[in-house]
């Protein structure tokens, strides 16, 4: 088998160990086309991220089948598609708007796309707070972004802000636009998340905004996660990529949601 890239290899190892419960190094090397030495290094990386537990000659999963892969692994997956989605979402936001930007890897790219824009942004993850707090090349011209930092408790490994302080920060404000990420989205089951606390924060953000835009890679439109957030009709627009199933895009449009598809 031809070897695969580092990010894809980590994903394959994570998925294979999660499905099987545990696998040996030789089996993972055969699966990925990598050397056993490379697989050992990959297992060390994944063990540090809390995805699996190493044992002599192999690894066992620490993730349930319904759990979300770790942020550090997801952040590099489909990065170009996420950046195209983010640019499209940023283009929907006018100067002067107030925006709440959800947690997650695609929404992190939205926060980066808004940096330096004349907007007020409340990000809901530590990664996005850090991205927006970096000095902007536009700051000297008076176009610095206004950053609002919510309270809350970061989810370990994710950086997503959750809990009553986060919800109180959101409930105290009214935003022009909420940019919401998701773990699953379709017309029948609506917007869903893996984490119950995260779902609570998403609902509060939606309730605090005049307009709701979902930023979702195409693969998310195949999925339904555990925690219900809101029906699809709560969304004004969805920005996705061309890998999203055409039937699902049509179903969302039929539900009254504007669907914008970015091309490769």
77 and 129, same domain (yes or no): yes
Predicted confidence band of residue 234 (pLDDT cuts 50, 70, 90): very high
- Between residues 53 and 125, which one has the greater pLDDT? 125
Looking at residue 61, its pLDDT comes to: 74
Q: Does the pTM exceed 0.85?
A: no
**Boundaries of domain holding 56:** 6-65
Mean pLDDT of all residues in 45-49: 80
The number of folded domains in the chain is 2
Residue 1 resides in a domain: no
Looking at residue 8, its pLDDT comes to: 79
15: Cα separation from own chain's centroid: 18
Query: What Å distances lie between residue 150 and 16, 57, 110, 147, 167, CA to CA?
Result: 37, 45, 18, 10, 9
50 and 83, same domain (yes or no): no
Mean pLDDT of all residues in 15-25: 83
Q: Please give the mean pLDDT across all residues of the chain.
A: 88
55 and 181, same domain (yes or no): no
Mean pLDDT of all residues in 151-169: 92
| Proportion of the chain above pLDDT 70, given as a percent | 88
Predicted confidence band of residue 25 (pLDDT cuts 50, 70, 90): very high
What is the C-alpha to C-alpha distance for residues 142 and 243, in angstroms, rounded to an integer? 39
- Between residues 166 and 139, which one has the greater pLDDT? 166
240 and 221, same domain (yes or no): yes
Mean pLDDT of all residues in 203-210: 98
Burial of 140 (0-12, 13-18, 19+ CB in 10 A): exposed
Residue 246 resides in a domain: yes
Looking at residue 2, its pLDDT comes to: 46
Residue 143 resides in a domain: yes
Q: Which of 15, 49, 65 is the last residue of a domain?
A: 65
pLDDT in tens, 115-130: 999 999 999 999 999 9
42 and 77, same domain (yes or no): no
Predicted confidence band of residue 229 (pLDDT cuts 50, 70, 90): very high
């Amino acid at each position: 088998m031809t070897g695969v890239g580092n990010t894809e290899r980590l994903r394959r190892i994570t998925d294979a160990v999660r499905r099987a419960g545990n696998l040996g190094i030789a089996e993972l090397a055969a699966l990925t086309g990598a050397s056993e030495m490379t697989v050992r290094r990959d297992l060390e990386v994944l063990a540090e991220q809390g995805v699996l537990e190493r044992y002599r000659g192999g690894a066992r999963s620490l993730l349930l089948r319904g759990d979300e892969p770790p942020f550090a692994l997801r952040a590099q997956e489909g990065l170009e598609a996420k950046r195209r989605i983010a640019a499209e979402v940023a283009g929907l936001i006018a100067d002067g708007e107030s925006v709440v930007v959800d947690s997650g890897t695609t929404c992190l790219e939205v926060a980066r796309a808004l940096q330096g824009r004349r907007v007020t942004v409340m990000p809901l993850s530590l990664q996005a707070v850090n991205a927006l707090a970096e000095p902007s090349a536009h700051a000297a011209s008076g176009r610095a972004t206004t950053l609002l930092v919510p309270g809350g408790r970061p989810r370990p490994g994710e950086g997503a802000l959750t809990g009553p302080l986060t919800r109180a920060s959101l409930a105290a404000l009214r935003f022009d636009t909420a940019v919401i990420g998701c773990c699953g989205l379709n017309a029948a089951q609506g917007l869903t998340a893996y984490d119950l606390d995260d779902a609570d924060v998403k609902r509060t953000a939606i309730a605090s905004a005049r307009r709701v835009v979902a930023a979702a890679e195409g693969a998310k439109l195949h999925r339904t996660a555990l925690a219900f957030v809101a029906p699809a009709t709560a969304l004004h627009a969805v920005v996705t990529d061309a890998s999203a199933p055409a039937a699902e895009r049509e179903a969302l449009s039929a539900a009254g949601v504007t669907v914008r598809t970015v091309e490769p």
